[in-house]
Structures are given as structure tokens and as C-alpha cells.
Amino acid sequence: MPERGGHPPLWSHMDSVGPVGLWQGDGAAQEGLPCLPGSSELVQQCLQQFKVTEAQLRQIQASLLGSMEQALRGQASPVPAVQMLPAYVGSIPHGTEQGDFVVLELGATGASLRVLWVTLTGIEGHRIEPRSKEFVIPQEVLLGPGQQLFDFAARCLAEFLDALPVGSRALQLGFNFSFPCHQTGLDKSTLISWTKGFRCSGVEGRDVVQLLREAVARQGAYSLDVVAVVNDTVGTMMGCEQGARSCEVGLVVDTGTNACYMEEARHVAALDEDRGQVCVSIEWGSFGDDGALGPVLTTFDHTLDQESLNPGAQRFEKMIGGLYLGELVRLVLAHLAQLGVLFGGCTSPALLSPGAFLLEHVAEMEHPSAGAARVHTLLQDLGLSLGASDAECVQRVCAAVCTRAAQLCAAALAAVLTRLQHSREQQTLQIAVATGGRVFERHPRFLSVLQETVKLLAPECDVAFSPSVDGGGRGVAMVTAVAARMAAHRCLLEKTLAPFRLTLKQLAVVQAQMREAMVKGLRGEASSLRMLPTYVRATPDGSERGDFLALDLGGTNFRVLLVHVATGGVQITSQVYSIPECVAQGSGRQLFDHIVDCIVDFQQKQGLGGQSLPLGFTFSFPCRQLGLDQGILLNWTKGFNASDCEGQDVVYLLREAIQRRQAVELNVVAIVNDTVGTMMSCGYEDPRCEVGLIVGTGTNACYMEELQNVAGVAGDSGHMCINMEWGAFGDDGSLGMLSTCFDASVDQASINPGKQRFEKMISGMYLGEIVRHILLHLTSLGVLFRGQQTQRLQTRDIFKTKFLSEIESDSLALRQVRAILEDLGLPLTSDDALIVLEVCQAVSQRAAQLCGAGVAAVVEKIRENRGLEELTVSVGVDGTLYKMHPHFSSLVAATVQKLAPHCAVTFLQSEDGSGKGAALVTAVACRLARLTRV
């Protein structure tokens, strides 16, 4: 493999140079400098072979893109066009990287090695020039045992570091090893074969990083951690100066050519990874080895290939790489001389000798001002005599060869850019491409032709080209620094999220504590669980029949429903009514008169005048229930403040209002809690449903308990539905061992500090706030958003709990994460998106697992109450968090299965627990009342 690394680009003379040799469209003649009449036609015929049409370039772009995608999928090909090798670099620089790094460069500059000391400041615009030293490798080392070479490298490292104030500190090292390798990790790379005159024994087939580590250990002078082994194309991308755009593509055109870019890791079959990004080295020099470049190959390309050391291989590289451009020019000039067009029809031994023209010669001859003079000098040195027009024709040949090279390189780059744009589903891709290599440095027109062609072939990509700053040195140091940053950030992230990753043992403790609190609450002893009797004594058995009214009051809009329960199922007709603010905050009499007026209006519209239907009243405000149809309002919430209601039985207030409307008959049978309504709604569909669960803005649960265990209610047989009010579980401090500093911050900022602790770790009202506090903490540590605090993130409740559902429902491209965070004005990187996703997952997973521990405590209580080896039971569930979050329900179920293995639990999503459920509570009460009368 030809060497690809280069030296720092020299750009000062290029700014004013425009593109030369670009076509104006298919079939247009190749531009160039004029030759004398008589020779022009022959020259034109010869150079026409180097003309590539727009259609051909688009075909090359599409063909390379197809080859890239095939290789990414891991599909085998007899002649692989490209290799798409993962470089195990997972992030580009953020500009915050800082520290001192050592770089060892081996193979980039022939029979020598270079050691560099690179200091990264982490401050934009403040760059410290690296220190470096080059060591010539003795011939006997190049050809001797591998251990001897790596020991020599370790001695060079020690000698270099001896001159620096290193002391005893540990240093991180990046290893630029420019030989064909099979890389299997950032710090794992197996040498395939030596090139460039190296022939050290016992190295091929071995991990070169491990060999270097062993040599450093034998040397023993310094503590050096080899963090990364880096290919110089990747170093080029990573060595790009930080700008407004992220640099995610590296392009090298040196003696050979290659490119790399940041690919979504999930698309790289070789990695088996579904998150984040990874740098992929395309190895595109071999593109066309399968014949894809046939239509644009000239007779000169075929000749060059046949005379090369590797005929049939690296066909694309042989049309672009600096090692070959001079040779193509030489072949064309020799051909034209033999046709009698150039040099008076004379050749020279030098002109007929391979290698007579170098890249530097081509660049010098093409120079717009000094080129003609250099043509004369160089060709005279080759023993050639120039005619009057020969210099101009030679320049034209150079322009044709180099323009084609730039156009072909642009077609390949356009394929990469198109790949990035499509995989990220962006209308316009804004990106920076780092360039490196001697063709860019020394050829005055290559970059400008490349830019114009890319603009033509990929108009939806807005590309800024940026010269890489010493890819083999600073770029390798940056790879090392980025790896160190990612490792440090990973450590801080894991430490932050560790308290949210609950073990099965911790969850079993929560289950046991809840079980204990349930028993105490049922006995009437001090407990964080109130265990309130609801006076619902049975679930539906399917025999319920009839028409029922339901009233659902829980906010400024309320519903009146007619529920028809028949053999074929439940039919519901409903209407929504509003409660004006003046009524909600007026007198209690005014409020309940308004409610009755709405019920009467509904009855009349449904043709129910004169009928006295049983009514179930879902009243979603804090109550103490004294019977099925008795509920004392403890306090108003949700903007209600009607006078003379708190401390009163709301069913009695409703009945009084009914009596005031003398012509109306309404039979209020039950006041219903929405959690109980959820259980009853599902219970009609599944008679085994004996648990109700709500996980929405708040959370609660209820279940069917043995009446003999309920201390405050008379009777020893039968069942009673218990409203656990489990949001308050842990208010006695029992959850302290699971509470984090983030939970404490959310609790302190709430309207009820110290209360509803279980709810604050589970429900939708609080999860977004927990995430926001974690993001603030990680930003302060520099792990997120480059450490830049934003005012938006400081704003309470700015991070909605629905964002967790949206983020975790996201495709693997993390578009939702990006959209949400960008909308919040946060300076987002690809790494940030992944971290935010991980934070959301940790918080919602803990919530679901705690909820599951609670459900496990409930179903185990039911099983043991009944003395069963195995219990089959269903749980009716409602609430936006449970229903909308993509993983919450499955995490709850998995936790219950682990903690209550003897319970077969089915979760049923409730439909209209507060409406249909209230009617079914009423229907069951009527059924039980009939049985009692009989």
C-alpha cells in the first residue's frame, strides 16, 4: 500500500487560483492552453480520453456509494471495491480537549520514526506548536527481529522525553502506524504485511500495540499508556482546526489516496453496535478493481497499471494519487512525441524511463505564471528540445491529467457526502472536510477543481474544505485526547447514573417495605400507605346489565355519560360540559346546581326525562370515603375553590342540588376514585382483574383485599377494594436509601416538600425535572454541551416528561433528541444526544422498576391472602406515562415477573376508567344490592 501521510499543507499561493479544465456540460471540449495549428487536433484527440462527462461522474458517484453500502452491510464480494474498515474512533474533537500527549509516528516518512509532544489547550484559537524529533532507523533494525525495532522505538521515546520536564507522571500515547493492518479496536491492530522497505521478522500477524507496550515496559523509563493506533487518514480528519462546522470527513491525496468519515455505528455490520458513531476508513484506492472504472480508463491508465508493481489493483488510486500523476503525464508526452507532435518528434532515454516525472514537476509546470519557464528547464534536464508551442501543450497535458484526478476525487467525495446526508435525513448537509497530502499542498488547481465538481454533484451538501494541521502528529494526538475525554466522561456519567440503576436486591427491599407498610395501613397503624377502603366489594362478573349514568368531575371540564351494559358489551354516550371559573371559585351551592343543570340537559338530549338511573360519581379530588356513597372532601385542588364544600360529603351536596331541581330524579349510588374506576373498567373485560394502577401525572394503585384484614370496616367475609394512595409511600423515610441528590432537589422545589416521595420518583409530573437536574449536573462537569450552561436549561419544568417518551421512542438516528435539545437552545453534539438518551433511559427505567416492585408487593399479598401456590391475576392500567412511553410497560412487567415469580400477571390498558369505570362500580353495586334483597 503506498504511503498516504503528508506534511502540513502550504495554502498561501492557492487562494487566487480558479478551476482549470472543468467541463461546461456533457460533450463539451476539455479546456486548456492553445497549441499551434497542425498539432492541435492530435493533442485534442489524445486529451479527449481524459475528459470525464458529468454523466460518467454521477455514475462513479452512484457506483462508489453502492459499494460503500454493500461493504457496510458486510456483504461479501469477489473483488471488494472498498473495505469500509472501522477505525474505532467514536467522536470528533469538541474543542475542549486539553493536556499533553505523546505521538509515535512510524512508517509515514520512510526509514525513520518521529516522536512528538503535543499540548492541547482546550482554548479556541490558542495553539501551542508541538515539539518533535525525527530518528533515522538503522538498516539492520529495518531488516532485523521485530522486538529489536520496537525496542529501538522505546529507546527513541525515552531519549525524546528525557529532554522534557515529564517527571513521574503517566502519559498517554497515540501510535501512527502507516502500514496495512487489521484493526479490531482503538488500541488493537494486527500488521498484515510490511511495506516501504521494512522487513522485521516476527511482527506480521501480531498486534503492534501490544508489541510497543511490551517494549516500553522493558525500557521502564516512563509510564506510557498506548491509547490509540491511528491511520493517517483518520489523523487528517481529527487534526482539522475547530470551526463553526463539525469536521466529519477526512480526505487524503498524497502518493496514494483515501478518505474516512463518521458513520452511524448501527450501519457497520462488523461492529454489532446500535448506538453512536464510528469513523470508517473507506480504503477507496481499490475502487474500480472490479471494472467499475472501465468507461473512463484511458490507454495510458492501462499502460501505467501493467507496468506497476500491482497490476489490476488500486485502479482508482492510480488515476488520482500523487505517485501516479507524473507517470501519466510522462506517458502522454512520450506518446505525443512519438506522433511527432512534441519535441520535434524526438524522445530521450529519460522521457522513456518510468519515474522521470514527479508530482512536484507536474505542479511546477502547471503553475499559471512560472509554469512555462519550469517546463523548459525540466524538459531540457530530460534531454529534450522544445519547439515554440511545446511548453503550452505540455501544460495542457498536465492540466488534463490533474483536472481528471480532481474530478474523480470529487465524485468519490460526493458519494461520501450523499451517504451522510441520506443517513441523517437532512435536507441540507453542512459539513467540513479536512484535506491532507502533498497533492493538495503542492498542486495549485486541484482543490479548486475538486470544490467546483463537488458543488455540481452534491448541490444539497454545503461543504467547507479545511486543511488538516499535521494529521500524523496533532491529528493522532487529538484521537488520543478524544479517547481520553470520552473515557473520562463515561466514568463521570456512570458515576452520576449509578444510583438510578437498581439491582434486583434493592427492588426486593422496596417490595418488602411496601408489603410491610400495606399491612400496617390495613391495621390502622402508622404507615406511609393510607390503605383507604373504597366500599367497592366486588369486581364485575359479566352478569351486569342495564343503563347507568356516570359523572366525571376532575377539572374545569367535566363529562356526563350514559353507559349501556348489555350482553354484547358496553356502549357509551357522553358529553363534555365546562365549569366557568366564576362557578369553580364561587359558592358550593352554585357549583353543584350547575352540575345538576348539565346532567338534566344531558338527560333531555338523550330522551331520559322521568327516568331515575343509577349514577356513579368519579370525583378526582382528595377525599376520605366513609361508604360507597359517602366521600368527605379534604381540600380543593386544580383551580377549584368553591366555598362551603371542604369537610362536607360531596354526594350529600350533589343530592341536595338534585332535590332543589324538584322535577329531577337521580339515584347517586357510588362515589368513585379514578384508580378504582380503572380496575373496574378492565374487570368487565377480564374477571381476573383485581388490581388497578395509574401511572400518569401522578400514580396510585388499588386492589381487592380480604375484608377480614381491613381494620376499619365491619365484617369478616368477602372482599373490599383498597385505595392504597401509594404515591405517599416512603414519606416516612423508608425510601431514603434510593433517593438521589437530584430527587432531593426536585422534592425541595415542589409545592409539597417531603411528601409523595414514591410518586416523585415514578410519575410524569416529576421525571422530566429529575432529568433536567441531571443534565445541569453533567453540564457543570463538562460532560454535556461542552460545559456551556444555558439559561433555558436552568428554567424549571422546561424539560417535559413527554420528552422522555419522545426521546426513547426515537429512531436510532436520534432525530427527536436533536430536535428537542436544539429547540431548548442547547449546543448539541452527537455525543450529547447519546448521553441525554442514556439519562432519560436511566430515570424512566428506575421509575418503571419501582412501580413494578410496588405491583409485585400487591399481587404477592393477594396470593398469600388466598393461600395459593400460584396466582393468576390481571392489572388494569391507565395513565399517559404508562401508555405513551415506549418501554415503561414492558419494564414494569419484567420487574413483576422477577419479584413475584409465582404470580402470572397480565396487564390490561384501561379505556375510560373514570367514566366507564364509575358506571361499572355502580352496576356492580346494583347487582350486589339485588342479591342482598333476594
Q: Which residues contact 588 (CB under 8 A, 6 or more apart)?
A: 642, 643, 644, 645, 648, 653
**Which residues face 131 on adjacent strands?**
117
Q: Strand, coil or helix: what is 171?
A: strand
What is the DSSP code string of 875-890? EEEE-HHHHHSTTHHH
- Cell 452512484 locates to 62
3-class secondary structure for 458-499? CCCEEEEEEEECCHHHHHHHHHHHHHHHHHHHHHHHHHHHHH
The C-alpha angle with vertex 736 and arms to 733 and 739, in degrees rounded to 5, equals 135
Q: What is the DSSP letter of 369?
A: T
What is the DSSP code string of 799-813? S-HHHHHHHHT--TT
Q: What is the rounded distance in angstroms from the CA atom of residue 634 to the CA atom of residue 622?
A: 6
Q: Strand, coil or helix: what is 717?
A: coil
Q: Which residues contact 174 (CB under 8 A, 6 or more apart)?
A: 101, 102, 103, 104, 227, 228, 229, 230, 476, 477, 479, 480
Q: Give the amino acid at 93.
A: P
Q: What is the rounded distance in angstroms from the CA atom of residue 222 to the CA atom of residue 216?
A: 8
Q: What is the rounded distance in angstroms from the CA atom of residue 206 to the CA atom of residue 189?
A: 8
Q: Where are the alpha helices (DSSP H) in 686-828?
A: 741-749, 757-762, 764-780, 791-794, 801-808, 815-823
Phi, psi of 423 (to 5 degrees): -65, -25
Which strand (E) or helix (H) includes residue 510?
A: helix 504-523
Q: Quick one: which of 144, 236, 257 has its CA closest to 194?
A: 144
Q: Which residues contact 608 (CB under 8 A, 6 or more apart)?
A: 562, 602
The CA-to-CA distance between both ends of the chain, in Å, stands at 96
Q: Tell me the catalytic residues.
A: 559, 620, 674
Q: Give the amino acid at 405.
A: A
Phi, psi of 546 (to 5 degrees): 125, 180
